Every structure is written in structure tokens, then in C-alpha cells.
Amino acid sequence: MLYPKMTKSRMVFQLNGIWDFKLLKEEDSFNPLESSALEGWMAMPVPSSYNDIYQGREFADHVGDMVYQRTFAVTETMKAHRLVLRFGSVAHVAQVYLNGKKLGSHKGGFLPFSFDITNEAVAGENVLTVVVSNIVDNTTLPCGRLVKEEFPGLPSRLRNLPNFDFYNYTGILRPVWLYTTPDTYIKDITVMGKMDGQVFWEVAVSGQAADCSQVSVEVLDKAGKTVCCGEGKKGVINAGKINLWSPENPYLYSLNVKVRDEQGIFDEYTETFGFREIGVKNCRLTLNGDPIYLKGFGKHEECPVHGRATDLSYIVKDLGLLKWIGANSFRTSHYPNSEEMMQMCDREGILVIDETPAVGLHTGFTATGLLGGVPNGTWKTMETAEHHQDVIRDMIQRDKNHPCVIAWSAANEPASEEEGAKEYFEPLVEQFKTQDLQHRPVTIVTYEGSSPKACKVAELCDFLVLNRYRGWYDTEGNLEGAKAKLKDELERFHKRCPNKPIMLGEYGADTIAGIHDINGRLFSEEYQVQFMEAYSQVFDSLSYITGEHVWVFADFATAENIKRVEGNKKGIFTRDRQPKMAAYYLRRRWKEKFHGQMD
């Protein structure tokens, strides 16, 4: 899916700003088809997660629907074109109405969707209404549970328990756009650059004159100089001697696409790409044929006040911190990050494991240990298979051209040890293989309960990503014991899958910034450093380890529960992005050990 871009043939407008907002209670009768009048509208910034914008537990933890509304003007000039309304993401289900007419709905909180509003939009004022549901249950990704709590003498209370360890921030999380295209337009572009300079492209053209239109493509270098040209909706050309894309030199090219007939050009769009190849060889992920070692984090896209909303300042700041600490990669745990983040990773040379929002696919386990339900019931209880396919399709569709995306993660910590896991995941892994032209490696990130003996999905993965908390959730305070357990488990996974690269996708210890303990007790900054050192020693003793992703980049908000003190504190940075002591340890390790230098 193409990102909205201004070109010679396209106009782009943002509908971000302050919208009218209201939480809908069960007793509220709001019919977007009949009226736009609602009592008590509040001002709500878009994009933002609505939850922390106003005070009050009831407000933040509201379960159900909310309404967003705004007006926007369409000019006669805009009306002369095809008009598209596009949402970067709305969590979790959106129903969209324009001038009282339903345009459609979209399920899934972390990927873009759009509506052609050429016929519905009028020249002059238009009223846009979005009804958003924030419920997570066993049909959504991420998964959750709706529970009716009963208390003596009190009315029952509806709670939505997330099956995952991050706050269920919801609302219109990413930018809203309005853009024009010509009647016959470029619907999609797929482009792939190989190490030998070959460029594969495929252009989807839609609209009245699509069939009789001609397509031409031009590869441009960083300076905008033409490198090579091609003709047709699909083809291969050779760009000759090229600059490969890598973390050291994230050289970006662009593919300029023009669609025309004899009279002239209809539509034009420029897509960015890089020449690089990802592979798996000798227990290593490879980039451009060379083994790579992933240094970095599992990372949430969130920060104070606006929660999970797109924030360009945090995007640039966070990637700056990744560079400062010597990291080269992160996993978008546990959902696809914003499009703007992916563009920055292309530009900065950060390697990304792109994860679906499939977290909480387990009825017997959650990270906090509090919210789980029936053991061994996951694959009979969850009704996510079809939605999971939609999400994978749309994630590939959105991110396929990004050189920064080096691998796909189908899910985080599903019940991969339960009967039915293999059957659930086999078609999904296959889907990645068939729909991603680049055939990027695929993984399913697994947890401690999915031991080398019990795991039913290891063989499906191109590389194994394991989350382990030895020394924290078990063997706590005993790092020698933790090391022994970790090494033993890694060795057994290696024995089972001798050719697969293995990496840790998560390991970490909750650490309250500013707490010190001379004996390095739990929760102190000293313990976090010793914990990192212990895990590093194990990695360095095993040749098949292809990376280390610490949990987690920065402290983050979670649902309220007695295992979390003001959220998850396993961050190497605090929530406001200040370093804990362990940041300096990792910086030394990642810069000295792997490059023999400090900036």
C-alpha cells in the first residue's frame, strides 16, 4: 500500500489536528447515520491514544466504543480528481462515516486502510465520523478477554483484560490523510533490488484507462541521477554497479513510476528502495552474503501523554539512542510500527524484525502471570486464524519494499507448545513465503514454556527467536543458575535445529532507575548490569547465536497489576529516554566488542 506522497499528479492533505471526541456509554444512543449532534464533545488530538489525554480511571480504562468527528472542506479543484481518505491506523476496529453515509469498517489497530470518497465527498464542508471500538478479545490481534465482574450489592462491571503486557492504548493512533489521484492511477508498486544490480518491479494500475495505459520506470540514485530505465507493468532491469544498502551505508535509490497513454502522463509516484539481500547460512542471518549479528532491543512504540501515537520527535530520538548505544536492530514488538518509523529505519540503516500484532495467543499464560485462563485451550478457543491472515497480507503489502525489514515475526509468545500450534502456524508461514517477493526469513517468537522438547513450531521457522527470563521470573537473584539453565536450553535447541540461527528476542530484569544496591539485588541498576553481563557470557560461548535483543528499549506502560510498578521497568532507558546504568554496559559491549571503538 503506497504512502501518501505529493507528486506532479497527486495532492496530499493531512486531517490531523483537534477533533471532537466522546466516549460512548451503553446508554448513549448515537446514530452516525442520522445525526452528528452529540452532547459533551471533548477536544481530542489526532493522532493520539485517547487514554491519557484526560484524567480519570474510568476515562482511561473505558471499555467499548468512542466517537471521533471533524469537518473538512473539499475544493472544486480537489473534486475534479479521485479522492481518497486514508488512516495510518485506528485501534482496534473503526467504522467510518462521511456525511452520514457509512464508508466501511476496518479491523486491526496497527496497519493503514483507506476509502475512495470521490462520490461521497462534496465540494464545501464534509462531516467525517469515526466510531472506534477498543475491545480486545479472542477474535482480535492482540488478544484479550471481556470479563463481567460481580461484587456484592454493586452493579456488575465490565473489564477488558489484555492478554499482553502493554497498556491497551487505543484511538486514532496514526495520521489521517486526504489525497487525490488521477482517475487512472498507480495502485501499488513492488520493487526489489538485488546485490548484482538487478531491479524487479511490478506496478498495479487501476481506474478507467488502466488496461490501455503504459508504464515506464526509472531508477534514480541518491543525487536524483537516472541510473536505468524500463518499460511495462512488470519487469527486470540491471542498474549495473550499485551501492548496496547496509547499516554502515544505508544507500537508498528510488523508482520513479509513470503511467501514461498517447496523450500524456496520468499518474506518477516515486518509491524508495535499496539493493540488499538477506539470507540464512551456517547458523547465521546474512546481509549481502555476510553474517550479521543483531544487537538491539524489543521495542514498544509508545511514550507519555499520547501513548502509542505516531510522534516524529520520538522516532528520530529513539533511533539516535539506538545508534548511541551501538545497536543495529530492533523488533517491532508487538505490532507493526508506524510507516514513518519504517522510513527512518531505511534512511538510518536500522535492521528491523517486523512483527504482526499477534500477541496474547495463549489461554494459559501471559507475561504478568495474572490474566491467563484455561491451560491447553488456546487453539480451540482463539478465533483469530482468518484475521491473522489478513494482518499478514496487509503488513507485507505495506512494508514489502523497505530495505530495513530483514525478517518477519508471525507472533509473539503464542501457545507454541500446545497441540494445534503447528497446524495454526504452518499456513501462516507459508503465506509469508508466497506473498513476500523477497522471501525474507520468518520466525515465531517463543517463550519459556515452549521448551526445546515441547515447542511445536521450531521447524517452521527460518531462525529461532527465544524470549528467556532465567534470573528474573525464575532463578531470580541467582545469575550463575540462570546462566546454566539458559545455556542448557540453547544447546538443546541447537541440537534439535542444528542449521538454524538462534537469537534471544527478549531477556531482561525490571529495574527502577535510581535504585542502587551494593549486593546487586533485584530491581537495582546493579542487578540489571549483572544480568546483561551474565547473558552476554552465554552468548559469547556459543557460535550459533546470531543476535541479542534485550527486553526492552525503554520502560513502558502496562495494565495495572501487582507485578508492575507504574508499568514495565525492564527498559535500558527510562520512559523519558534517560539511560540506566546498563545502557553504558551495553554501549561498551556493542561498540567495543563488535567494532573495537567508542564514539
Least distance from ligand BDP to the Cβ atom of residue 464, Å: 15
Identify the residue among 168, 356, 384, 568 touching ligand BDP (CB under 6 A). 568
CB nearer to ligand BDP: give 104 or 304: 304
In the range 544-563, which residues lie near ligand BDP by CB under 6 A? Answer: 551
- Report the amino acid identity of residue 404: C
Q: Which x/- pattern, by CB under 6 A, does the window 441-480 give for ligand BDP?
A: ------x-------------------x-------------
Of 335, 309, 482, the residue nearest 411 (C-alpha):
335
Mind telling me the catalytic residues? 413, 506
CA dist 74 → 13, 79, 161, 349 (Å): 10, 7, 42, 39
Least distance from ligand BDP to the Cβ atom of residue 357, Å: 12
Least distance from ligand BDP to the Cβ atom of residue 392, Å: 19
Q: Which x/- pattern, by CB under 6 A, does the window 504-543 give for ligand BDP?
A: --x-------------------------------------
In the range 290-349, which residues lie near ligand BDP by CB under 6 A? Answer: 334
Q: Which x/- pattern, by CB under 6 A, does the window 363-392 give for ligand BDP?
A: ----x-------------------------
Cell 542448557 belongs to 488
412 binds ligand BDP (CB under 6 A): yes
CB nearer to ligand BDP: give 412 or 438: 412
CA dist 185 → 4, 82, 205, 212 (Å): 13, 9, 6, 12
First to last CA, the chain: 38
Least distance from ligand BDP to the Cβ atom of residue 448, Å: 8
Identify the residue among 570, 580, 587, 589 touching ligand BDP (CB under 6 A). 570
Least distance from ligand BDP to the Cβ atom of residue 409, Å: 11
Q: What is the 3-state secondary structure (H, E, C) of 18-80?
A: EEEEEECCCCCCCCCCCCCCCCCCEEEEECCCCCCCCCCHHHHCCCCEEEEEEEEEECHHHHC
With CB under 6 A, what is the number of residues at the site for ligand BDP? 11
Query: With contact defined as beta carbons under 8 Å apart, do 210 and 184 qualify?
Result: yes
409 binds ligand BDP (CB under 6 A): no
CB nearer to ligand BDP: give 49 or 286: 49
Least distance from ligand BDP to the Cβ atom of residue 168, Å: 13
413 binds ligand BDP (CB under 6 A): yes
CB nearer to ligand BDP: give 413 or 436: 413
CA dist 106 → 140, 222, 258 (Å): 12, 37, 30
The DSSP code sequence of 147-189 is EEEEETTEEEEEEEEESSSS----EE-S-EEEEEE-SSEEEEE
Q: Which x/- pattern, by CB under 6 A, does the window 194-233 give for ligand BDP?
A: ----------------------------------------
Q: C-alpha grid cell for residue 221?
A: 540514485
Identify the residue among 165, 302, 526, 555 touching ligand BDP (CB under 6 A). 165
DSSP 8-state assignment for residue 460: G
Length of the chain measured in residues: 599
Question: Measured between alpha carbons, how far is 584 from 529 in angstroms, rounded to an integer?
Answer: 9
CB nearer to ligand BDP: give 409 or 467: 467
Phi, psi (degrees; rounded to nearest 5) at 245: -90, 135
CB nearer to ligand BDP: give 140 or 412: 412
Question: Measured between alpha carbons, how far is 494 from 440 in angstroms, rounded to an integer?
Answer: 21
CB nearer to ligand BDP: give 16 or 366: 366
Question: Measured between alpha carbons, how far is 451 from 489 in angstroms, rounded to an integer?
Answer: 8
CB nearer to ligand BDP: give 292 or 534: 534
Phi, psi (degrees; rounded to nearest 5) at 160: -110, 105
> Which residues contact ligand BDP (rule: CB under 6 A)?
165, 334, 367, 412-413, 447, 467, 506, 551, 568, 570
